[in-house]
Structure 1
């Protein structure tokens, strides 16, 4: 086969799955991890931003211990501020690249690119999904929507934009979880929400997932956790640890608001069968104590961890369940260092380390 064109935009009728491209699991080796430096009050107020930055910088340092970190910086001032803070914190700047890519907010998991690979052809490409800030909740989001194309140009990679008659298909990276063997997990509360792709049916959404992520099976849970303004992203509830093992958030306290939702997810997971007919192995991951700020229950979850080449970076929340969660996750990812970083101030922005990052796989 002839190689893909490296002129960035592929035609709208290009279907990645038909050309052997797929989204690999997060444990697949990375070229880098992408972030978007926080610079506005969209997620953290001027009072909160200085409180979250030390943990955010620790996060960057932890990623850079085993791979490159690429950071979208809104403008030259933000770039200089980021470089100064990272340098003062002792970060290895040879492993960090700051790029002049304007952004509205910091949640790169959702506005960043979906990198696909084709090992047989030794090629990579990007899916440029549409982005509308979780159903138009937090305008403006026009700059974030342009990030995948900007990164495609920077990497000299072709990209395709899934289109319908109504415009680009809306999809967020935190709403999908992959096992690397043809299966994606997602939630109806998010992907079937009328604030994303109201004109598409569940069957339509499944077709786009299969065509543009290169999967053959879509498994659905119903809901997310309380306080999650994304309408139920899967990366707060269920994560693959291997082709047939999931780590699933679990709440034992029947009086907790999350109890019925997480019980239902566990029931759904037990009914699922993979493409080979195998049942999922389920590892129960405890939930942290509730974190409430200004009367709002925050979406704190240990499941919002990031897998890097050498580690798993796990949010912790200053409670007794922290060590149990770290130990359980460590058992699921042998050979990787388990790095716990206090995310109490980060989660005030309604997300944590997985939400903030998007991995770039190697071929």
Structure 2
């Protein structure tokens, strides 16, 4: 059964969770720190400087959470110190393969009363296996759920977070070219994808 279920075998919908809209209040925004020079050939330092500045800027408005391996945290802290106040930036010791956490990271769900946060863990295959060696990114949602002590709903459907939007009231907008591309989910019918999403 390929519906998002938690350890109790129930779907988010059955347990009273919903996928909030992007414009609703947020507790935090997540980023991933670039560590692989092979993916950022010749521009890695500049990318790091720009991202450190972005983290500091975003932290003016809400908490910023960054996946950054322990060995790279001193460099990141130094770059953020040059950019301003980083007191609302929280670092997590996890190394990703790339920075596109919008696509590989968890989608956060909220209980109807707003008291509980949960995470979805979709499969991620680097945009249809366009890039090799991205296994750490696919594992990031499970790691984040454990780090936060949150409920995790996992299933085998490939979905990039940038390919789905919610109005917060049960309607979803998805990118058909992503979900129905054979390099993501094989030869699956749109009705099957819709059924999987509706169960969640």
Settle same-fold status: TM greater than 0.5.
yes
CA distance in 2, matches of 1:208, 1:82: 39
Pick from 73, 76, 96 the counterpart of residue 103 of structure 1: 96
Residue 130 of structure 1 pairs with residue 123 of structure 2: yes
Residues 1:80 and 2:68 are matched in the alignment: no
Partner of residue 117, structure 1? 110
Q: Identify which of 64, 71, 74 aligns with 1:69.
A: 64
CA separation in 2, counterparts of 1:199 and 1:170? Answer: 12
Unmatched segments (≥5 aa) in structure 2: none
1:259-308, Cα deviation, whole Å (9 max, x unpaired):
xxxxxxxxxxxxxxxxxxxxxxxxxxxxxxxxxxxxxxxxxxxxxxxxxx
The yes-or-no answer on 1:17 pairing with 2:13 is yes
Q: Is 149-158 or 10-19 further displaced after alignment?
A: 10-19
From 167, 188, 194, give the equivalent of 2:176.
188
2:51 match: 56
Q: For structure 1, list consecutive stretches of 5 or more residues without a partner in the other structure.
A: 1-8, 163-167, 213-363
- Superposition deviation, residue 42 in structure 1: 5.1
Larger Rg: 1
2:196 equivalent to 1:208: yes
Find out whether 1:37 has 2:33 as its counterpart: yes
Q: Structure 1 segments of 4 or more deviating over 6 A?
A: none
RMSD (Å) for aligned C-alpha atoms: 1.8
CA distance in 2, matches of 1:10, 1:182: 19
TM superposition score normalised by structure 2: 0.90
Aligned residue for 2:160? 172
Question: 2:14 is paired with a residue of what secondary structure?
Answer: helix
* Cα distance in 2, alignment partners of residues 60 and 170 from structure 1: 28
- Structure with the higher fraction of residues in helix conformation: 2
What number of residue pairs does the alignment pair up? 196
SS of 1:16 mapped into structure 2: coil
For residues 200-224 of structure 1, the C-alpha deviation after alignment (integer angstroms, 9 at most, x for no partner) is 3211111222222xxxxxxxxxxxx
Question: 1:287-331 CA distances to partner (integer Å, 9 max, x unpaired)?
Answer: xxxxxxxxxxxxxxxxxxxxxxxxxxxxxxxxxxxxxxxxxxxxx
CA shift at 1:181, angstroms?
2.6
**Can you list the C-alpha shifts for 1:167-221, whole angstroms capped at 9, x where unaligned?**
x111110001222232211222111100011143211111222222xxxxxxxxx
